[in-house]
Every structure is written in structure tokens, then in C-alpha cells.
Amino acid sequence: MIAAFDPVLLARIQFAFTVAFHITFPAFTIGLASWLAVLEWRWLSTHNAVYEEVYRMWVKIFAVTFGMGVVSGVVMSFQFGTNWSVFADRAGNVLGPLLGYEVLTAFFLEASFLGVMLFGWNRVGPKMHFAATLIVAVGTLFSAFWILSANSWMQTPQGFRVGSNGLLYPTNWIKVIFNPSFPYRFFHMVTASYLTTAFVVGGIAAYYLRHNRHVKHARIMLGMAMIMAIFVSPFQAVLGDMHGLNTLKYQPAKIAAIEGIWNTERGAALRLFGWPDQAEEKTKYAIEIPKLSSLILTHSLNGEVKGLKAWPKDDRPPSVWVFWAFRIMVGLGILMIFTGVTAAVLFFRKQLFSKPWFQRWCMVMTPAGFAAVLAGWFVTEIGRQPYVVYGVVRTAKAASPVIGSQLTMSLLAFIFTYVFIFGAGSYYIIRLIGKGPGDSEKAYGAHGMKEPPLFTDSASEKGGKHV
């Protein structure tokens, strides 16, 4: 029975599963690293111990999340070869150096200075420690730069030629790295990470406020989170719109699938909800707003929007997934903007920290960022099917010569391992949240030990200076 599954489908499911699992960690740690840097800066410049306590609580959560991100990321670096070897062979000349730069500019930086950030408290001075936090934060952004450049090139490839054996050769690196969709995708994703972190932090702060615990810390956390919700979530909507227009230019089939439009039409209606039926080639039960789709996409009421039927059947993305994932992402984005507006109103009425219903709402919104990030990636990755390098390499022809049963076994092993590890990680994070910031006993580093992991310094034993 196992062998009956299509190996390409299994390879796709496995990649989707491992990368979806992986992306939740960077989505959180990119934002968290930058926020930790801000917290440490506030602490060093104001000497307000509350900032320090908030930092020390969140750095532990950062460590657990980062650890899971690292181990699931190592898997990704091998998946291109194990599951997509034909793709690796054909696109390696172009993508290899980009991933190589990610390792060289980001991974070593993050991994090395994370050690200082977690365990270096009494080994380096406060300035050096702050520098380590800052370096880790910058490292996460470098990493996002390269991996999103590589991903964007697969979406909107340029600056290459096709050589013998179907191999792709770079002809212009600047064009490869700064391909058309890259700037939009980069800013959209980094902003998404910041918002993901903000809503997690805000939700947990709201939980503390509701239970009247760690009130001083919670006010700082909720305040900073809501600054992000107020200013950044509307900005994200603008970025998303720009990204969408870029997609319309380079991947119109993806837009047609997002919109659920089958026939090319002028003055296309916006289908708010509905069920795109691939077999019947129409969107059933659609709730429409006339002309709005044309207005959004072409900025004109009667602009032309291409429908999915403009492409042959096997060049169309699976429309149901794209259609619904997009609506989930946008819906969550609207809720985030709404949260920001509400927070602003409550702030001016001096009720931001006191309204129980708003605290409950923020708690509900805690996982909103994760869900929106995943939904967004589903839109962009399923929407570019059936290609792995858009318009150049088909997904179906990119897989490894690995037999289905092997793929099934490894897929099951990954699912089991990830669910288990993720469960344990979440449990420990929830326990850290339960414990909260500002324990009277100082918890050191990531390991929550009562005492700092005393590294008896040989220099200090001999009466020398202790770093």
C-alpha cells in the first residue's frame, strides 16, 4: 500500500511538513531577538531592573525556541539533497552560493554569540553582553535575507541561463539576489516575524495582568507589544498589498487562484468567500463585492484580471488551498489591525491595562502571528505550483530517485519526532511562562539554574582578574 503513494507527493508532504514546522521557530525568534536587544538597551540606559527581569525571562524562552529552530533547520539543509536531488543538481549553481552565504554570514554568528548571550552573564561585561544580543539579532536578519532571496529567486527567477542537461547557470548575481519578488517578500516576512512576537508577548502580558501577577513587567510587555500592533500591523497591510501587486506582475496564476477567478474578466468582483471547484472550473457559493478585485489589483474599476482558465490545466496551482490560506492570512491581519486600533483608543482613555475584555482578546490573539505566517507561506508556496523554479523546473521532475516506502518511513519518523519534540518544547515554554519574570532567586542563562553555571576561572583561582 505504501508503495502506491506517489513519491513526488510524499516528498512534497515531507518538505511541507518539515519546513512548516521549522518556519514557526524563526518566525518567532527573528522578532524575539530584536525585541531582546531593545529590552537590553532599555535596561542598560535606564538601569530599570524590570527590563532586566523581562529580558531574563524571555531569553530562556528564546533559547528553547532557538534550539528547536536549529535542529529542525539542520534537517532542511539536507532535504534538498535527500528528497529533491534533481532540483539540487539543476539549480545548485544558482541557489548553492546563496545558501552558502546564509551559513557564513548568519548561522555561525547566531550560534557562536548565542552561547555568550545565554551563558556569558558573569564572563563578559554588560556592554559585550549587549553586543552579543545585538549580533544574534542581526544574524537572524542576515539569515532571513539570504533564505528569502533564495526562495524569491525560485518564485521569480532571473539572471540565469539554461545550459546542457537542463542545468541552470547564473549570468548576473545582482539580478539573482535582488530578484523582483525579493524585497517585498523580505520586508513582508520580517514584519510578520515582528508581529508574531508582538502578539505572543502581548498575549502573555495580558494573561499576567488578568491574574494580577508580575504587573510591572506585564505593563512593559503589553505596552511594547501594542506599539507594534498599532504602528506595524497597518504597515504590514500596505506591504502585503505591494507584494500582491508584484505577484500579479510575475505570477498572475497565483493571483487568479487567490481571487478564485476562472474567466478573464473586466471589472472583476472580489470573492470574499466561496469554494473554488477545480473540476467544474468555477468558484461556487461565492459571496462577491462587485468590481473590488479589479480595483485592488489594477487600481481601476474596469481593469482586466486574468482568470485561471487562461492557463492549461496542468499549469494551474491547486486553487482551494491558495484561496482559503489567503483568506486566513488576511483575516488575521485585519484582526491584528483591529487590535492595534482598539489598543490606541484604550490608551488615550487610560484603560489599556485595565479592561478585562481586552486582556481576554489579547490572550486569544497569542497564536495569531504563527497562523498568519503559515497561511501566508501556504499561499505563496502552493500558489507557485506546479513549478519549483517558477516557469523553469517543474516540481514533479525535481524529486530524488528515492523509492516511496523510504519516503513514507522517513515522513512518519519526522512527524513522530517533531510532534513529540514540539510538544515537549511547548510544555517547557509554558512552564517558563507560568513561572514568569522577576523571580527573587536569580535564574541564570537558559538553563534556569539557581546559581550561575560557575565556570571556575583558572585566572581567578590564581588571584587574577575575573574577565
| Binders of another protein in range 161-200 (CB under 8 A) | 165, 169-173
Per CB under 8 A, does 449 bind another protein?
yes
- Alpha carbon distance 467, 463 (integer Å): 12
Per CB under 8 A, does 456 bind another protein?
yes
Nearer to another protein, 163 or 290 (CB): 163
Name the strand (E) or helix (H) holding 7. helix 7-46
Closest to 281 (Cα-Cα) out of 237, 315, 244, 319: 319
Task: Tell me the Cα Rg of the chain.
Answer: 24
Per CB under 8 A, does 13 bind another protein?
no
Residues 413-432, interacting with another protein (CB under 8 A) = 413-414, 417, 421, 424-425, 428, 431-432
The site string for another protein over 121-160 (x = CB under 8 A, - otherwise) reads --xx------------------------------------
Asked if omega into 157 is within 30° of 0 (cis), the reply is no
Residues 101-120, interacting with another protein (CB under 8 A) = 101-105, 107-109, 111-116, 118-120
Q: At what angle do helices 126-155 and 7-46 cross, to 10 degrees?
A: 150
Least distance in angstroms from the C-beta of 407 to another protein: 9
Nearer to another protein, 290 or 423 (CB): 423
With CB under 8 A as the contact rule, the residue among 9, 89, 219, 310 that binds another protein is 89
Least distance in angstroms from the C-beta of 218 to another protein: 22
| DSSP string for 355-368 | -HHHHHHHHHTTTH
Nearer to another protein, 113 or 353 (CB): 113
With CB under 8 A as the contact rule, the residue among 24, 29, 34, 72 that binds another protein is 72
Nearer to another protein, 270 or 389 (CB): 389
With CB under 8 A as the contact rule, the residue among 287, 334, 345, 459 that binds another protein is 459
In this chain, which stretch among 216-224, 230-238, 285-293, 450-458 interacts with another protein, using CB under 8 A? 450-458
- The distance of Cα 279 from the centroid of its chain, to the nearest Å, equals 33
In this chain, which stretch among 33-41, 279-287, 327-335, 403-411 interacts with another protein, using CB under 8 A? 403-411
| DSSP string for 120-175 | -TTTS-HHHHHHHHHHHHHHHHHHHHHHHHHHHHHHS--SEEE-GGG-EEES-HHH
With CB under 8 A as the contact rule, the residue among 162, 215, 334, 467 that binds another protein is 467
Instruction: Label residue 244 exposed, middle or buried (CB < 10 Å: 0-12, 13-18, 19+).
Output: buried
Nearer to another protein, 167 or 237 (CB): 167
Which residue's entry shows cell 505596552?
A: 223
Nearer to another protein, 55 or 353 (CB): 55
Per CB under 8 A, does 86 bind another protein?
yes
Residues 351-370, interacting with another protein (CB under 8 A) = none
Per CB under 8 A, does 2 bind another protein?
no
Which residue's entry shows cell 481576554?
A: 360
Count residues binding another protein (CB under 8 A): 82
With CB under 8 A as the contact rule, the residue among 9, 97, 263, 391 that binds another protein is 97
Per CB under 8 A, does 78 bind another protein?
yes
Nearer to another protein, 334 or 449 (CB): 449
Residues 206-265, interacting with another protein (CB under 8 A) = none
Nearer to another protein, 42 or 56 (CB): 56
Q: Integer distance in angstroms from the first to the last C-alpha of the chain? A: 63
277: β partners: 282
Longest dimension (CA), the chain: 83
* The dihedral sign for the CA sequence 7, 8, 10, 14: positive
Least distance in angstroms from the C-beta of 381 to another protein: 20
Per CB under 8 A, does 85 bind another protein?
yes
Q: Are residues 111 and 70 in contact, defined by beta-carbon separation less than 8 angstroms?
A: yes
Nearer to another protein, 21 or 321 (CB): 21
- Alpha carbon distance 12, 7 (integer Å): 8
- Alpha carbon distance 42, 34 (integer Å): 12
3-state secondary structure of 381: helix
Nearer to another protein, 267 or 425 (CB): 425
Closest to 200 (Cα-Cα) out of 376, 373, 364: 364
